[in-house]
Amino acid sequence: MLLLGDSLIVTSFGEYLEKSLNASPGIHAVRKAKSSTGLARPDFFDWMKAGREEVERHHPDVVVVIMGGNDGQGLTDDKGKAKVQWGAPGWEAAYRQRVEDFLHVLEAPGRRILWLELPVTGLPNFERKLRVIRRVLREAVSARGATTHLDTRSFFTDAKGGLVREARVEGFRKPMPLRMEDGVHFTLAGGRYFASSVFPAVLGLLEAGGDSAPAAGEPELNAPEPAVCRESDAASEAPMMPLAFCRE
């Protein structure tokens, strides 16, 4: 099992999901994560190259991906040359092509790919960008036979569509805040909550070889205590927000 992504994989969500998977019999999970990255700026971090190296190194049965929150900006090539600006008529088509190219890099016979939708944040300006990015990602991922798109909205919204800011999380005595002050990244409890929520879908790809999401009301994972959050694996040397998504 290979976990790929940005700061959500670097921090508590990714760390706890990896730990929980490795606590399951017969599963070996590894992470490759880089804060402040996505598919928009290969001059800062080239996920095409990194993704190819990781699947060749580990030969995973399942790849879990979450990224895109940093991609609400102009697209560049690997030399930093601007290709298309955010909001321009060709941006969506160009971004979708990058997603398709990345999925092609990850794919192999018998391998399943699970792309996790970016969780709703409740930040109006950021959400305007995320709505575009989520739609392009969902369409690109859903169009491919070996990939599954997991809708995460129900994990973070209530019955009326309001944002869930606190929840009861196993291992904590009272309802805990799910997000840090930036409104995007998860607290330790929030990371555990999100990991437990997506865990059944991740296991489902291994156990059934299918693409079904967890059934409504399915119990959350009984897993170990939350892992300690760790910082990014490298300092951000490009003009992008460290340990945070771009929220202009």
Q: Are 38 and 6 in contact (CB under 8 A)?
A: yes
Tokens of 231: 């910082």
- Residue 171 in 3-state DSSP? coil
At 207 the pLDDT is 79
- Asked if the model's pLDDT at residue 102 lies above 50, the reply is yes
Residue 226 has pLDDT above 80, yes or no: no
Q: What is the SS3 assignment for 177?
A: strand
Q: Rounded to an integer, what is the distance from CA 239 to the centroid of its chain?
A: 21
Please state, in angstroms and rounded to a whole number, the distance separating the CA atoms of residues 178 and 68. Answer: 20
pLDDT at 165 over 60: yes
pLDDT of residue 106: 98
Q: Is the pLDDT of residue 222 over 80?
A: no
Q: State how far the Cα of 29 lies from the Cα of 22, in Å rounded to an integer.
A: 6
Q: What is the pTM of this model?
A: 0.84
Chain segment 77-86, per-residue pLDDT in tens:
999 999 999 9
Q: What is the pLDDT of residues 178-217, one digit of tens each?
A: 999 999 999 999 999 999 999 999 999 887 554 333 333 3
User: What local confidence, expressed as pLDDT, does residue 208 receive?
Assistant: 58
